Amino acid sequence: MSAPTLPRPTAPAAVEERVEAILARLRLEEKLGQMMMGERASTTPDDVRSHHIGAVLSGSGSVPGANAPADWVALNDALWAASTDATDGRAAIPLLYAVDAVHGHANVRGATIFPHHIGLGAARDPALIERLARVCAREVLATGLDWNFAPTLAVVQNVQWGRTYESFSDDPALVAAYAEAFVRGMQGTLDDDGVVACAKHWIGDGATNEGIDQGDAVLSPEALEQTHLPPYLAALRAGVLTVMVSFNSVNGIKCHAHGALLTGLLKERLGFSGLVVSDWDGVDQVADDLDEAIVRAVNAGVDMIMCAADWRRRLIGLAAGVASGAIPMARIDDAVRRILRVKVRAGLLDRVRPAERPWADSETFGSAAHRAVAREAVRRSLVLLQHNDDVLPLRPGQRILVAGKHADDVSHQCGGFSAAWQGTHGNDAIVGGTSIWQGIRTVSPDATLSVDGSAADPQRHDVAVVVIGEMPYAEGMGDIRPGGWITPPLPGGLFTVNLEPYGTTLQLASRHPEDLATIEAIRAKGIPVVAILLSGRPVLIDRELAASQAFIAAWLPGSEGAGVADVLFGAHDVTGVLPLDWPATAPAPDGRAPIRFPRGFGLTLR
């Protein structure tokens, strides 16, 4: 039985009084330590204690011990104990532990993994998003953590962008409605059931030229105000406590050094009183000299510096910036005030240690009830793009062949930021869910699996379900770059960090010819095909459409692949509609393209 949560000040005045009382007692080294976020692999409890580290994160795939909830609870319990060690007159300020639970707590083995944002956009239901966020919060709390780097509020403008699947839609109004619902579901009333949310990535991440991740977004004041700002206004209205800075530039200026956007717009004009956290070593990109970069980013409005590995070097740079006067003490106090305000409003200072909290290592983690909510989201995310010859719904008595490289692969259903940053393969790393094949076999036990389709036999099969699409990817490694691997030069000669992009064309038949080959081989035997596309975005599919009777966009459905069978066999109608325009050709650099299927398109079976 955990200790009762102590009553804590919730009225702004009481919060401010508490913040000022703590701030007044802090030594400079404690203030600077609070501004540092170390990564799990390079930040020990002793580091937290000796350097007053304000937060720790797990990058995607960075997991403790056996990667069970109990391992996570133990890790944060040790870090939390170190941060609240008041010996030698230290200020006992609990640290925040953050993770990317962007579509469920997908780092952790056995977690409930929901469809990525783009699929949730197809459901067009903010109430569903709030329920999903609540389930996700419970699973984050089961691991003893308290900060989630979600929601991503990108309004994607060019589907060549590798992070398209992290955007809910190209419609600002839908992203705004989802932003409010997600923050409400995640933070709740910030009692023992709430997790601190993070609106990201500020700002214009989905609008870069040619969709190049971390590239330059050329935004008019109208585009900024009408397209990219509304989701953040909604998140702020819902009380989001943190905002993460984007890697991209806006009109040639890196967001991490953009004082007008970080301070002028977000903090002053919009009155955001929470904390602004940098992205993963994002501070480094704003100047050739690291110490100068730290000065520019902190003076622009970065309050907490997220460090991929070497927080010590960046703490030295921060201290040097203060010692030289390049960073005014007033800016340091403002940053620390914001960090303390988040910790007070999140109830962190009054909460018992992670191991004693109500949800710690709870059996609700990955529970059937949680998976049922994710399965509902899967079936409501599906969009029927084509339906000929009344091939759907399938009937359990039919002789069904299931084929395609993604037919029995839960990892490919989940995509990036799932078990590993770039995702994984097969059914070992992500457990507790169901593949699309397993869902179909449950309804139709006589169904047969033939991944390459070679077992197709018109004497034995009435219909084939072929699961095709993109392989997992994340961030810039998911970019489609028609110009090949390019490092976009940015003003000042600075460039973004680029890894190998996913490809040079959105044409699925060019990027993955194996998919069309499987469909055509089955069709050549006279067996009708229901194609299921797993992808992080719209791709060019004219040849696959022409070869199939029915075609469903399933996006990246997550761990509950059985939700696809719920629609295939008619237990539920297919109700999803496109959350963004589906292009007919490769988009222009600004993302515009002739439209194959417009946003809002989706067939039904009833």
Q: Which is nearer to ligand GLC, 91 or 286 (CB)?
A: 286
Residue 276: name the closest of 331, 324, 347 by CA.
331
Q: How far apart are CA 180 and CA 185, in angstroms?
A: 9
Number of residues assigned to the chain: 606
Report which secondary-structure segment, H or E, holds 276.
Answer: strand 275-277
Q: Which is nearer to ligand GLC, 256 or 370 (CB)?
A: 256
- Catalytically active residues are 279, 475
Minimum CB separation of residue 57 from ligand GLC in Å reads 6
Q: How far apart are CA 36 and CA 43, in angstroms?
A: 11
Q: How far apart are CA 356 and CA 380, in angstroms?
A: 37
Q: How far apart are CA 542 and CA 554, in angstroms?
A: 17
Q: Which is nearer to ligand GLC, 199 or 527 (CB)?
A: 199
Instruction: Return the structure tokens found at 116.
Output: 């990525």
Quick check: 337 and 23 in contact, CB under 8 A? yes
What residues does 540 pair with on adjacent strands?
A: 507
Q: How far apart are CA 491 and CA 479, in angstroms?
A: 21
CA angle 590, 262, 317 (to 5 degrees): 115
Q: Chain centroid to CA 565: how far? A: 26
Q: Residues interacting with ligand GLC, by CB under 6 A? A: 57, 59-60, 100, 149, 200, 279-280
Identify the three-state secondary structure at position 176.
helix
Q: Which is nearer to ligand GLC, 166 or 170 (CB)?
A: 166
Which amino acid, residue 554? Answer: A
28 Cβ partners below 8 Å, 6+ apart?
A: 319, 322, 332
Q: What are phi and psi of 557, to 5 degrees?
A: -70, -15
Q: Which is nearer to ligand GLC, 279 or 291 (CB)?
A: 279
CA angle 171, 386, 546 (to 5 degrees): 115
Residue 466: name the closest of 535, 544, 570 by CA.
544
Dihedral sign for Cα atoms in the order 113, 114, 116, 119: positive
Strand ranges inside 430-503, DSSP E: 448-449, 463-469
Residue 300: name the closest of 289, 308, 292 by CA.
292
Q: What are phi and psi of 441, to 5 degrees?
A: -65, -35
Q: How far apart are CA 400 and CA 457, in angstroms?
A: 11
DSSP string, 503-514: BS--BHHHH-HH
Q: How far apart are CA 351 and CA 145, in angstroms?
A: 12
Cα torsion through 13, 15, 18, 19, rounded to 10: -110
Q: Which is nearer to ligand GLC, 79 or 519 (CB)?
A: 79
Q: How far apart are CA 53 and CA 47, in angstroms?
A: 7
Q: Which is nearer to ligand GLC, 59 or 188 (CB)?
A: 59
Cα torsion through 564, 566, 570, 572, rounded to 10: -110
Minimum CB separation of residue 150 from ligand GLC in Å reads 8
Q: Which is nearer to ligand GLC, 429 or 605 (CB)?
A: 429
Minimum CB separation of residue 277 from ligand GLC in Å reads 9
Q: Which is nearer to ligand GLC, 55 or 574 (CB)?
A: 55
369 Cβ partners below 8 Å, 6+ apart?
A: none
Instruction: Return the structure tokens found at 590.
Output: 């600004």
Dihedral sign for Cα atoms in the order 504, 507, 510, 513: positive
Q: Which is nearer to ligand GLC, 103 or 357 (CB)?
A: 103
DSSP-assigned letter for residue 332: H
Residue 299: name the closest of 313, 281, 311, 317 by CA.
317
Q: Which is nearer to ligand GLC, 149 or 551 (CB)?
A: 149
Quick check: 479 and 211 in contact, CB under 8 A? yes
